[in-house]
Amino acid sequence: MLHSIYAISMSRNPEEPVYNRIEAARNALGLSRQELADKVGVHYQTVGYLEREEYSPSLVLALRIAKALNQEVSELFSQTPFKKGK
């Protein structure tokens, strides 16, 4: 009962999902989360949230991440799920 009230009253607004390949691109460059976080100027946990697709970055942050990972924004982010292995 209490949990239901809590879930209703403090629920997170479900966002339209934004899929990304940050983790794969980061691993390909051999960067740790902390190193990527330092490069783009965010907390290391924010990189974790981004990689788990629990947080969608602003356009500015998406551009910074793409630059840090030597990729285009469109290669890193998508509104449809990426195919595995691509």
Partner 1 sequence: MFKKNKIYWFEGVTEKGVKDLLNNENSKYRWLRPQRNRRVLVILMALGLVLTSMGSYWPTLKTNLNLSADVGIIVYSVTAIFIIFAVVGCYSLLRIAVRSIADAPDELLDERQIAVRNTSFRYAYFILSYVLMALMVLMFFGPELQMFQPEGNDGSYVVIAALFASATLPSMVMAWRERDI
Residues that bind partner 1 (CB under 8 A): 10, 34, 41-46, 48-49, 55, 57-58, 61
Q: In the numeric block, which tokens belong to residue 25?
A: 């691109």
**Shortest reach from residue 69's CB to partner 1, in Å:** 17
Q: Nearest CA to 40 among 51, 2, 54? A: 51
Tallying the residues shown for the chain, one arrives at 86
Specify whether the CB–CB gap between 61 and 4 falls below 8 A. Answer: no
Distance of closest approach, residue 23 Cβ to partner 1, in angstroms: 16
Q: Which is nearer to partner 1, 11 or 79 (CB)?
A: 11
| Residue placing its CB nearer to partner 1 in the complex, 17 or 41 | 41
